[in-house]
């Protein structure tokens, strides 16, 4: 599943190809992805120039003067910029034709992605209740500490709650907790302020590193649809249940926490 770093890598990869290009036409090959595509979206976008591409959580916003196309890659979506006339493959659901003779093509085999519309000056309901961006100054140990008081949920579940902070997915939550030495099972309300400082710093560092690696390793902007393979060999926990801890050599524990596969070291993480 594309996580925040892959979505940000996609955004950066697309920018030089689509920024300030005018959309000359829209082809919808099906009426819906996860949700129905607004039927008037083609006429809203046609003739509009893409003024910016922003990312909020794992959503991409193609901004025009008349509103924004709101796009999510879901579990398996990818975006490519191709010469017009490139044969359509299975699951190529949407084309935005650009004024330079290319198309921005959205492929999504599992159709958990979406393509919606956000009017100018409005915030789409999907974006309204989201927590801060993890790489913004609004996200830090003080924020986590303040929001966690009295919470009994495991700290890993708390960190993955999109109303607390967006984009810290399962892999990155597990890695940040390992780096900060915090057990994923500890009640969120029982983690001290200094330990939340360490956790926020670890989450920022890991996400920033993954974005930097994505930016240099993915030669084009085909979004990966599985685990972040280019990053996997550096991970301390992901996929390593039962293997020796990189810090103390004891075998790593693995269990479901909040229905999500979790790996941690019971010795190094308290
Ligand atoms: Zn250990």
pLDDT tens profile 82-105? 999 999 999 999 999 999 999 999
Residue 209 CA, ligand 1 centroid: distance in Å: 22
**In sequence order, which residues have a C-beta less than 8 Å from that of residue 170 and are 6 or more positions away?**
160, 260, 261, 262
Decide if pLDDT at 266 tops 90: yes
Model confidence at 224, pLDDT cuts 50, 70, 90, reads very low
Neighbours of ion ligand 1 (CB under 5 A): 245, 247-248, 265, 267-268
Decide if pLDDT at 234 tops 60: yes
Percent above pLDDT 90 for the chain:
84
Decide if pLDDT at 235 tops 60: yes
Residue 55 CA, ligand 1 centroid: distance in Å: 36
Region 148-159 average pLDDT: 98
Percent above pLDDT 70 for the chain:
93
**Is 209 or 98 the better-scoring residue by pLDDT?**
98
**CATH class for the region spanning 4-128:** alpha beta
pLDDT one-digit tens code per residue, 50-71: 999 999 999 999 999 999 999 9
Domain 141-264 fold is Helicase, Ruva Protein; domain 3 (1.10.8)
Catalytic residue among 44, 48, 58, 240: 58
Q: Looking at residue 106, what is its pLDDT?
A: 95
d(CA 3, CA 100): 30
Is 58 annotated as catalytic? yes
d(CA 206, CA 112): 26
Start-to-end C-alpha separation, the chain: 29
Residue 151 CA, ligand 1 centroid: distance in Å: 26
Residue 266 CA, ligand 1 centroid: distance in Å: 7
Within a 10 A sphere around the Cβ of 51, how many other Cβ atoms?
12
H or E segment and range at residue 96? strand 92-98
Domain boundaries, the chain: 4-128, 141-264
Region 128-155 average pLDDT: 98
Residue 176 CA, ligand 1 centroid: distance in Å: 14
């Amino acid at each position: 599943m594309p996580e925040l770093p892959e979505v940000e890598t996609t955004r950066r990869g697309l920018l030089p190809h689509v920024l300030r290009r005018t959309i000359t036409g829209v082809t919808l090959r099906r009426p819906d992805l996860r949700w129905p595509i607004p039927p008037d979206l083609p006429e809203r976008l046609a003739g509009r120039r893409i003024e910016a591409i922003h990312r909020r959580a794992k959503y991409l916003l193609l901004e025009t003067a008349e509103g924004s196309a709101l796009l999510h890659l879901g579990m398996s979506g990818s975006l490519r910029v191709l010469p017009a006339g490139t044969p359509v493959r299975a699951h190529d659901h949407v084309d935005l034709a650009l004024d330079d003779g290319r198309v921005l093509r959205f492929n999504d085999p599992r159709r958990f992605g979406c393509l919606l519309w956000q009017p100018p000056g409005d915030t789409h309901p999907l974006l309204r209740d989201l927590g801060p961006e993890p790489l913004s100054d609004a996200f830090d140990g003080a924020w986590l500490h303040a929001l966690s008081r009295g919470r009994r949920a495991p700290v890993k579940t708390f960190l993955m709650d999109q109303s607390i902070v967006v984009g810290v997915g399962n892999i990155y939550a597990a890695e940040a907790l390992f780096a900060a030495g915090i057990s994923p099972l500890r009640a969120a309300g029982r983690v001290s302020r200094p330990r939340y400082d360490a956790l926020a710093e670890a989450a920022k560092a890991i996400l920033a590193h993954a974005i930097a690696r994505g930016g240099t390793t993915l030669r084009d902007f085909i979004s990966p649809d599985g685990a972040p393979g280019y990053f996997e060999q550096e991970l301390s926990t992901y996929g390593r249940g039962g293997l020796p801890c990189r810090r103390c050599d004891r075998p790593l524990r693995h269990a479901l926490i909040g229905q999500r596969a979790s790996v941690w070291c019971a010795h190094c993480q308290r």
